Amino acid sequence: MTAAAVEVHGVHKWYGPHRVLDGVDLTVRPGEVTVILGPSGSGKSTLLRVVNHLEKPEIGHVSVNGELIGVRRQGGRLKELSERAILAQRGRIGFVFQNFNLFPHLTVLDNVAAAPVATGKLGKAAAQELARELLGRVGLGDKTGAYPRQLSGGQQQRVAIARALALRPGVILFDEPTSALDPELVGEVLAVIKDLATSGTTLVIVTHEIGFAREIADRVVFLDGGRVVEQGPPSEVLDRPRHERTRDFLSKVL
């Protein structure tokens, strides 16, 4: 039996009295592309952030490639891991933010090369070579010396994707990667993500691009009120939604 790439098990999450995730279960198989859809406030981003432990779930747990994230099992109970151990785990999970969050004081090359060097995975020269290769792959081989603010939004997001790839993660999570972009720049970022999808990387993508979801998703998960309302291949969830809530949402965004 091969382990699931991502397994979310009975996760509950509160912000103060407000319940954001209400018992979410989700399984992502290796190499699969999963798109999470849902209205704003449905808990999509929180779910993604729980997967790499940027948010701690109060109940439930997450595992990535068979490894529990942020916690360990001891005597039948779940105990929180040390910060150092959690940081090490995050190196195996790529995360791409809506607002890119590139490091503005570092060049594009250093943005990509920083993590492999800082985590001791590669020497400086090897990391820079890898960074050059990855930047070439996202079509920015000529921008290595630029600072992030000198780039367009679409270019910045492609750098952010290269930065996430630099740690050779088993899974990459995308939190609305095109929502902060001008419409004309969305295509270049989606093309890079599509390239990753066809190369067999496991991707979990929160997005509002329904057309893109239909094109690349192996599975679509519809979230509402912190619960998974329905999930399945795009041909089912997007074209023949079984739930009223899904139909309602799709009629508004399509």
Which C-beta is closer to another protein: that of 100 or that of 249?
A: 100
Selected from 13, 44, 90, 219, the binder of another protein by CB under 8 A is 90
Instruction: Report which secondary-structure segment, H or E, holds 15.
Output: strand 6-15
Distance of CA 224 to the CA centre of its chain: 19
CB of 120 to another protein, least distance (A): 9
Distance of CA 149 to the CA centre of its chain: 23
Which C-beta is closer to another protein: that of 116 or that of 241?
A: 116
Residue 122 CB-half CA count within 13 A: 17
Told to check if 99 binds another protein by CB under 8 A, we report yes
Instruction: Report which secondary-structure segment, H or E, holds 200.
Output: none
Told to check if 179 binds another protein by CB under 8 A, we report no
Determine contact, residues 174/49, Cβ cutoff 8 Å: no
Residues in a beta bridge with 6? 28, 64
Pairwise CA distance, residues 240 & 41, whole Å: 24
Q: Which of 39, 98, 102, 28 is nearest to 66 (CA)?
A: 28
Selected from 59, 87, 191, 253, the binder of another protein by CB under 8 A is 87
CB of 84 to another protein, least distance (A): 7
| Helices and strands in the chain: count of H runs, count of E runs | 9, 12
Selected from 56, 72, 73, 105, the binder of another protein by CB under 8 A is 105
Selected from 167, 181, 213, 229, the binder of another protein by CB under 8 A is 167
Structure tokens at 18: 């407000």
Which C-beta is closer to another protein: that of 37 or that of 151?
A: 151
CB of 141 to another protein, least distance (A): 20
127 to 166, contacts with another protein by CB under 8 A? 147-150, 163-164
Backbone φ and ψ of 61, nearest 5°: -150, 165
Selected from 3, 66, 101, 129, the binder of another protein by CB under 8 A is 101
Which C-beta is closer to another protein: that of 156 or that of 231?
A: 156
Told to check if 14 binds another protein by CB under 8 A, we report no
Residues at the interface with another protein (CB under 8 A): 52, 54, 83-84, 87-92, 95, 97, 99, 101-107, 114-115, 118-119, 147-150, 163-164, 167
